[in-house]
């Protein structure tokens, strides 16, 4: 499987990033001015234009090698959208994309950190630590940051973790009765093609979670809500058969790549 590479900084892209989301609607305009519309969801696609400047020779070599492996537009690869949250259903922890122990009690509609009521209260009344987690089809060896807003009735701690194959990392963050954002950035030593991130709910603990976010970069950015579509695109292609590089000095190269995904 091919994965669009990260730069040495752990980021997938540099500013500016251009993204396009395209839908197709068939519109039949009637004589009286009204419209009859048909949504053609299967024609929807995403497109990105990524501009890279001041790349080192190593970074440019990696990009060129990846482009050669993809053979231009021919072969599909996995692209992690740098502008999006890699999780699906970031605020609906009861959705099937989330794996939660059946012993955890989830209550939705809790006051959240953004002034709405989209947080989830999780109670662990069992005698063992339990987890709620989501797995993505992204390379385990990439740099990721998992972040989530947490709150508890009294001062406590919460443990975040990332796991891929036999490699794992975790961190403990303090919680209080006010919302705070806990994050875990790590890069695991693994060759696994998937990554799982989640929260450990300790025995007897009750905690509120909101805004779970996983990003392909070392640190957390602004929270982005997702629904059924997240930022993992497993069937992306280059949009061009040409890869043009401009090198102005050693370790100073630039290029622009176009990527599309359905």
Partner 1 sequence: MRFLDGTDQRHRQYTPLRRWTIQLNMLDEAEVNALEQFFEQQQGRFGSFSFIDPSTQTTFPNCSLGQDSFQMELSGDMRGLTKLVIVENKV
List of residues contacting partner 1 (CB under 8 A): 15-25, 27, 32-35, 37-39, 41, 44, 83-85, 221-227, 229
Smallest distance from the beta carbon of 195 to partner 1, in angstroms? 21
CB 134, CB 230: distance < 8 Å: no
CA torsion through residues 169, 184, 196, 108, sign: positive
Query: Looking at beta carbons only, is 38 or 155 nearer to partner 1?
Result: 38
Query: Looking at beta carbons only, is 41 or 178 nearer to partner 1?
Result: 41
Smallest distance from the beta carbon of 71 to partner 1, in angstroms? 28
CB 243, CB 64: distance < 8 Å: yes
Query: Looking at beta carbons only, is 62 or 225 nearer to partner 1?
Result: 225
Structural element, H or E, at residue 156: strand 156-164
- Cα Rg, the chain, nearest whole Å: 21
State how far the alpha carbon of 256 is from the alpha carbons of 11, 39, 141, 240, in Å.
16, 32, 25, 11
Smallest distance from the beta carbon of 149 to partner 1, in angstroms? 13
Pairing, β 156-164 against β 195-201: antiparallel
Query: Looking at beta carbons only, is 152 or 260 nearer to partner 1?
Result: 260
Q: Taking the CB of residue 135, how many other CB atoms lie within 10 A of it?
A: 16
Smallest distance from the beta carbon of 260 to partner 1, in angstroms? 13
Smallest distance from the beta carbon of 140 to partner 1, in angstroms? 25
The separation between the first and the last C-alpha atoms of the chain, rounded to the nearest angstrom, is: 17
Query: Looking at beta carbons only, is 99 or 235 nearer to partner 1?
Result: 235
């Amino acid at each position: 499987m091919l994965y669009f590479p990260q730069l040495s900084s752990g980021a997938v892209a540099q500013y500016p990033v251009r993204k396009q989301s395209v839908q197709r609607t068939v519109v039949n305009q009637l004589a009286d001015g009204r419209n009859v519309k048909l949504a053609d969801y299967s024609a929807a696609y995403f497109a990105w234009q990524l501009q890279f400047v001041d790349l080192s020779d190593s970074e440019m070599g990696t990009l060129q090698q990846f482009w050669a492996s993809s053979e231009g537009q021919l072969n599909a690869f996995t692209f992690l959208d740098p502008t999006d949250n890699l999780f699906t259903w970031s605020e609906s922890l009861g959705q099937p994309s989330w794996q939660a122990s059946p012993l955890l009690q989830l209550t939705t509609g809790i006051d959240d950190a953004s002034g709405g009521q989209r947080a989830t209260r999780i109670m662990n009344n069992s005698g063992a630590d339990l987890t709620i987690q989501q797995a993505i089809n992204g390379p385990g060896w990439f740099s990721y940051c998992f972040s989530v807003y947490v709150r508890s009735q009294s001062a406590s701690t919460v443990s975040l973790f990332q796991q891929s194959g036999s490699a794992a990392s975790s961190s403990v963050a303090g919680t209080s009765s006010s919302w705070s954002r806990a994050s875990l950035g790590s890069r695991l030593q693994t060759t696994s093609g998937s990554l799982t991130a989640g929260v450990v709910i300790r025995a007897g603990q009750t905690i509120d979670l909101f805004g779970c976010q996983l990003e392909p970069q070392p640190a957390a950015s602004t929270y982005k809500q997702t629904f059924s579509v997240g930022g993992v695109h497993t069937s992306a292609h280059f949009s061009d058969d040409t890869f043009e590089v401009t090198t102005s000095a050693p370790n100073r190269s630039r290029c622009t790549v176009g990527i599309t995904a359905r």
